[in-house]
Structure 1
């Protein structure tokens, strides 16, 4: 055999390499934004506390703080669901993974959807605005806006294939993220929330879901079975 002939690359090796690249990129992004996020929380906590319930649920900082504050409750829910599944006879590993996936999807997605659907200052007064030219709004998003849009369905993309065998496919996760994002952008327009319904938001939201899914491929359910 010609020694210069390239050997076929194992699909498993390719997946591992892609997962390593994705995890490295996510880790680098987290490290870059960690100081900013920490500073934001330190500064915003007193402001949110003084602002009362409105600040907790109707401001970006408040929603993010609520998301963090709810972590113990989510952890308790994971424990409770795992215990119920184990009592029903499910394998401990599968029970824990299914419970974590369900709670993770909800905890990591609902706050971002809440922020997307939060009305602007002139909601109901101005007509809906639409931006249908791809990549135009990416320039104005900025690093934080881009990171936020990537995170909207990241938890869903990461956990959904771990819970539902039917979603253990990158194209399906991408389609799910794009479909849900398009639905939210349409609701923004129909409800006149004083927000711009942009195709770039759909593209970035779906990309975030797909990247997160790539990071969790080793824990995906096999397509022939599903957690109970």
Structure 2
């Protein structure tokens, strides 16, 4: 009897439970720290008002946190349907899909919020690398790192084709270029900067490194290939 093999499954479950508890505690601590700014926009969000909720940073963050239970419910429903259909890695696939959407859309919403001079001031672009980086500040750099972090973290877990660092780098940079282009074309009173693209792409790569052990491999994408072909009849 292989004792190590019999102990590995309970240890993995225990480790996963501990990580989940730590993640919940970390999220609860972060919410506690920023509870006062978030509560400033709560009345507007509860009333369903656009101004004061969906056009403010606090309002978007609050709605992102409020919809976490709904996102968890969607993960559970997708995973249950996939398990019933006999799909392998049902939980990982479902978590990756919902995580990509729920973790990316709020940041895209924030980056596409128009400024006070939207549609009035001319569109601005900055193509000199690292010039704007020094003016972002720690908060700006962290925010730009997080824009496509969920995409970089979950995409290799869901799609085998994206399971490599160069591809994640290209994916993050490409999505960032689209956002910066949209800001320029729509004249949102924002600076379309190459530094935003660089930091966004770096954030996607760093997040991908954090999830590397859970990436989807070609063998997991097509498990039937490893099965021996049935012997011909007769």
TM tier relative to shorter chain: 0.7 to 0.9
Consecutive unaligned residues in structure 1, runs of 5 or more: 1-30
Find the residue that maps to 2:125 and give its secondary structure.
Answer: strand
Query: Retained in 2: the 8 A contact 1:150–1:205?
Result: yes
Query: Retained in 2: the 8 A contact 1:158–1:213?
Result: yes
Task: Give yes or no for the alignment of 1:68 onto 2:65.
Answer: yes
After TM superposition, the structure 1 = structure 2 runs for residues 147-158 of structure 1, keeping only pairs within 5 Å, are 147-158=142-153
Query: Retained in 2: the 8 A contact 1:126–1:192?
Result: yes
Q: Partners of 1:36 and 1:142 in 2: how far apart? A: 20
After TM superposition, the structure 1 = structure 2 runs for residues 182-197 of structure 1, keeping only pairs within 5 Å, are 182-197=177-192
CA RMSD of superposed structures (Å)? 2.2
Query: Retained in 1: the 8 A contact 2:75–2:94?
Result: yes
Query: Retained in 2: the 8 A contact 1:165–1:224?
Result: no
Which is further off, 150-159 or 82-91?
82-91
* Alignment-derived partner of residue 27 in structure 1: none
Greater Rg by CA? 2
Find the residue that maps to 1:200 and give its secondary structure.
Answer: helix
Which digits, 9 at most, give the CA deviation of each residue in 1:89-140, with x for residues without a partner?
113xx00000000000000000000111111111111111001110111111
* Alignment-derived partner of residue 46 in structure 1: 39
- Give the counterpart of 1:139 among 113, 134, 140: 134
Query: Retained in 1: the 8 A contact 2:148–2:203?
Result: yes
- Give the counterpart of 2:208 among 205, 209, 213: 213
- 1:35–1:70 Cα change, 3 Å: closer
**Paired positions, count:** 195
Which digits, 9 at most, give the CA deviation of each residue in 1:121-168, with x for residues without a partner?
111111110011101111111111100000000000000000000000
- What is the CA-CA distance between 1:227 and the residue it aligns to? 7.9
Find the residue that maps to 1:130 and give its secondary structure.
Answer: strand
* Alignment-derived partner of residue 196 in structure 2: 201
Query: Retained in 1: the 8 A contact 2:125–2:184?
Result: yes
Find the residue that maps to 1:68 and give its secondary structure.
Answer: helix
- Give the counterpart of 2:99 among 104, 109, 126: 104
Query: Retained in 2: the 8 A contact 1:163–1:226?
Result: no
Find the residue that maps to 1:197 and give its secondary structure.
Answer: strand
Q: Partners of 2:126 and 2:29 in 1: how far apart? A: 33
Q: Partners of 2:32 and 2:120 in 1: how far apart? A: 36
Consecutive unaligned residues in structure 2, runs of 5 or more: 1-25, 224-234
Task: Give yes or no for the alignment of 1:162 onto 2:165.
Answer: no
**Which 4+ stretches in 1 moved above 4 angstroms?**
34-38
Find the residue that maps to 1:160 and give its secondary structure.
Answer: helix
Which digits, 9 at most, give the CA deviation of each residue in 1:169-191, with x for residues without a partner?
10000000000000100010000
TM-score, normalization by structure 2: 0.78
TM-score, normalization by structure 1: 0.80
Query: Retained in 1: the 8 A contact 2:38–2:61?
Result: no
